[in-house]
Amino acid sequence: MVESVTGVVARYDQIADFYEQRSGKTVSDPATAAVLDLAGDVGGLRLLEVACGQGRVARELARRGATLTALDISPALLAKARIYETAEPLGICYLRADVTTSGVLTGQVFDGVVCNYGLSDIDDLDGLLANVARFLNPDGWFVFSLLHPCFPGWDSDAPSSWPPDQGYYQEGWWLASNTGYRCRVGSSHRMISTYLNSLVRHGLVLDRVAEPPPSPEMEQRRPPGAAPVPFYFAARCLRR
Ligand SMILES: C[S@@+](CC[C@H](N)C(=O)[O-])C[C@H]1O[C@@H](n2cnc3c(N)ncnc32)[C@H](O)[C@@H]1O
């Protein structure tokens, strides 16, 4: 069953087993590795991971010495995260919430907020960024990664960031028509300028940016003759 909080549907409930198998426990894929690098030394910090899924990044940050709160809208993925927490207690506080609502985590402040591969799954970007800015203490940072908004697509399991029949300039939520998981959970496409202007509007200033290339395994799937293209985008922002 697909549940909803405040009208936002937990789309990942229907693919929770598949998603966990696919992204697994590891944090070595290029975008996640970039997020951990951009977060830097997290020892002693109070951190929030939003759209945490099954908690693989929250666990790694906690192992590196941070105190973690982690939230997601999907009860099925949170159930998996809690099983990991029971097997390896790291003191992570998991919450089910829609991160875009104005009342979420009222009064709580963090040294950093992390969102790994979550932005294109979150329908209300302004709602998210308004809350990220509210969650951060004055020296706080926001680190995120996502499939690069300019990725043009390679194959049925790695579709373009945008609806292929409409192109890069067509923003909004869309459902892929191929066999990959984006044909089940969809994706919100936004141009890179929309992301950057939204960060500015919410007082989140770019500090560092990364565009990690795909892994060697993924690189092998680049169609013959196709040029290397932007694949991942990750950034660290500071509160202005
Ligand atoms: C691609 S998964 C990323 C999971 C995890 N961060 C990782 O690196 O594997 C995107 C996640 O965003 C969550 N999500 C989507 N909309 C949300 C919302 N409004 N509030 C909280 N979580 C949301 C989904 O439930 C899903 O777990």
Q: How confident is the model at residue 176 (pLDDT cuts 50, 70, 90)?
A: confident
The two tokens of residue 73 are 């809208």
Instruction: Indicate whether residue 34 lines ligand 1 (CB < 6 A).
Output: no
Answer yes or no: is pLDDT of 134 > 80: yes
Instruction: Indicate whether residue 136 lines ligand 1 (CB < 6 A).
Output: no
User: What is the per-residue pLDDT across 77-118, written as a single tens digit (0 to 9) for each?
Assistant: 999 999 999 999 999 999 999 999 999 999 999 999 999 999
User: What is the per-residue pLDDT across 28-59, written as a single tens digit (0 to 9) for each?
Assistant: 999 999 999 999 999 999 999 999 999 999 99
Beta strands 110-116 and 136-147 are parallel
pTM: 0.96
The residues, any chain, with a CB within 8 Å of residue 184's CB and separated by 6 or more, are 11, 14, 15
What is the rounded average pLDDT of the residues 184-211?
Answer: 96
Query: Domains plus CATH for the chain?
Result: 4-149+191-239 (3.40.50.150)
Answer yes or no: is pLDDT of 215 > 70: yes
Instruction: Indicate whether residue 14 lines ligand 1 (CB < 6 A).
Output: no
